[in-house]
Structure 1
Amino acid sequence: MLHTPAAKGETFMPAASREEPPLPRYFFDVIGRDGATHDDLGQTFSCAEDARRAALRLLPEVAALERAFAGIDLYSLQVSIRDESGRVVYAATLGITGGWIA
Structure 2
Amino acid sequence: MKIVKEALAGTLESSDLLVKVSPGPGTGLEVVISSEVMQQFGAQIDRVVRDTLARLGVTAGLVVVEDKGALDCAIRARVQTAVMRGAEAKTINWSALS
Answer whether TM exceeds 0.5 for this pair: no
Q: Counting strand residues as a fraction of each chain, which structure ranks higher?
A: 1
**What is the TM-score of this pair, normalised by structure 1?**
0.31
**What is the TM-score of this pair, normalised by structure 2?**
0.32
Return the index of the structure with the highest Cα Rg: 1
